Amino acid sequence: MIPTSTVPVRITEVCLRDGSHAVAHQFTVEQVREVTRALDDAGMHYIEVSHGDGLGGSTLQYGRSLVDEMKLIEAAVEQCKQSKVAVLLIPGIGTVHELKQAHSLGAKLVRVATHVTEADVSAQHLQVARELGMEALGFLMMAHSAPVDVLVEQAKLMESYGAQAVYVTDSAGTLLPEQVQERVRALRNAVSCEIGFHAHNNLSLAVANTLIAIQEGATRIDSSVRCLGAGSGNTQTEALLAVLERRGVDLGIDLFKMMDLAEDIVAPIMHRVPEVNKGSLAMGFAGVYSSFLLHAERAGKRFGVDPRNILIELGRRKAVGGQEDMIVDVAAELAKQK
């Protein structure tokens, strides 16, 4: 497998953003410094740093951060000699104010994330990011939950707002390989900007799906060292690099240094090992937002309900990111039915 695009594949390491979900948003400044320093030394292209739910995400609903994310962004920027620091922004959670602050601290790239049918709310943030001189990318979350023609329509909107790439975002880790192929190929044929892909490993398909996305022309790829991310984690960076190198694709990132980072630095700070267990598998099966796992487990314990039943019901109701309050409601309703 050789990438079909002539544009080089670039990796955004998401362990310090998506991985924030897995550690209940409790990263310390020193942890961010140490991880960023090692990633930069290994030659990582981009390092995303923010609350798991993006800029402004430290709230009671989404989970309070241990440390103000701006301090974490600043700490990461200070460690980078070659890598660029990226941030995520979900309109309605983060605002232009936080975006400008992150930029002033040295963030070079922003992914503006919306539900797959709500690209129109990204216009202001993408335009401001371009005016600031940042790389501005669109991030269509829960990409499985809309027909392919709707995904294409929404990607075109993001491109028209100034997005330099648009991501197929498998927020639930539920897409099958043929579904990834269909979506990336459709975007490749419909837009002129770059295509990105973000996977979760809830069905144990993240690396395979990412390889298919690259084969179909995706050039902006997300991965997470040691699989540190929400649910079962994301595409594992060091595993992806190893497979790509075996395929003759060298991204300029040192594989052995990434292995060492995973083993010696990231593993000790993980509160839990991202794995395909009954909870995350239920999320992938039901097509539920990956950051719901810890919330569902807490609600299940509180109400004496199997978290899997909560997740399946959330999938039936087509819950999306931002509806974390629904998790408690569903748990309470299920408890009454017992």
Identify the CATH number of the domain in which residue 297 sits.
Answer: 1.10.8.60
Distance of alpha carbon 78 from alpha carbon 57, whole angstroms:
23
What mean pLDDT do residues 290-317 have?
Answer: 88
Asked if residue 50 and residue 19 are part of one domain, the reply reads yes
Domain termination residue (choose one: 269, 294, 325): 269
φ/ψ bin of 207: left (φ > 0), alpha (ψ from -120 to 50), beta (otherwise): alpha
Band the pLDDT of 325: cuts 50, 70, 90: confident
Task: Read off the pLDDT of residues 277-292 as tens digits, 9 standing for 90 and up.
Answer: 898 898 899 898 877 8
User: Do residues 207 and 308 both lie within one domain?
Assistant: no
Q: Which residue has the tokens 């241990």?
A: 66
pLDDT given at position 1: 53
Tell whether residue 65 is among the known ligand binding residues: no
CA dihedral (258, 264, 270, 272) positive or negative = positive
Helix (H, G, I), strand (E, B) or coil at 269: helix
In a domain, 222, yes or no: yes
* 302 shares a domain with 161: no
Is the Cβ–Cβ distance between 256 and 284 less than 8 Å?
A: no
Q: Select from 99, 62, 43 the least CA-distant residue to 289.
A: 62
Task: Name the domain count of the chain.
Answer: 2
Q: Which of 221, 249, 269 is the last residue before a domain boundary?
A: 269
* 238 and 157, same domain (yes or no): yes
- 200 a known binding residue? yes
**Separation of alpha carbons 187 and 193, rounded Å:** 9
* Mean pLDDT value of segment 300-316: 91
- Whether 17 has a binding-site annotation, put simply, is yes
Exposed / middle / buried, residue 11 (Cβ in 10 Å: 0-12, 13-18, 19+): buried
Segment among 28-32, 105-109, 170-174, 324-328 with least mean pLDDT: 324-328
On whether residue 151 sits in a domain, the answer given is: yes
pLDDT on residue 281 = 92
Q: Which range among 13-22, 117-126, 325-334 shows the weakest confidence by mean pLDDT?
A: 325-334
pLDDT of residue 289: 80
Neighbouring CB atoms inside 10 A of 67's CB total 17
DSSP state of 5: S
Are 293 and 211 contained in the same domain? no
pLDDT tens, residue by residue, 249-274: 999 999 999 999 999 999 999 988 88
| Assigned token pair, 67 | 């440390």
Q: What is the pLDDT of residue 265?
A: 97
Note whether residue 4 is domain-resident: no
Q: Is the pLDDT score of 139 beyond 70?
A: yes
Whether the CA torsion 289, 295, 299, 301 is positive or negative: it is positive
Average pLDDT of the segment spanning 85-90:
98
Residues 16 and 132 in one domain: yes
Task: Output the DSSP codes for 260-318.
Answer: HHIIIIIHHH-SS-----HHHHHHHHHT--TTHHHHHHHHHHHHT--HHHHHHHHHHTT
- How far is residue 184's CA from residue 180's CA, in Å, rounded to a whole number? 6
The residue segments making up the domain with residue 311 are 278-337
In a domain, 5, yes or no: no
Mean pLDDT, residues 212-222 = 98
**Domain CATH code at residue 144:** 3.20.20.70
289 is in an annotated binding site: yes
Nearest Cα to Cα of residue 35 among 205, 171, 210, 228: 228
**Predicted confidence band of residue 203 (pLDDT cuts 50, 70, 90):** very high
* Tokens, residue 21: 């979900």
Is the overall model pTM greater than 0.85, yes or no? yes
Q: Compute the average pLDDT of residues 2-28.
A: 89
Write down the pLDDT at residue 275.
87
Of 217, 250, 269, the domain-final residue = 269
- Rounded to the nearest 5°, which phi and psi values hold at 164? -90, -10
What is the distance between the alpha carbons of residues 310 and 323, in angstroms, rounded to a whole number?
A: 13
The mean pLDDT of the chain is 94
> Which residues are identified as catalytic?
21
Is the pLDDT score of 222 beyond 60? yes
pLDDT at position 2 is: 56
5 is in an annotated binding site: no
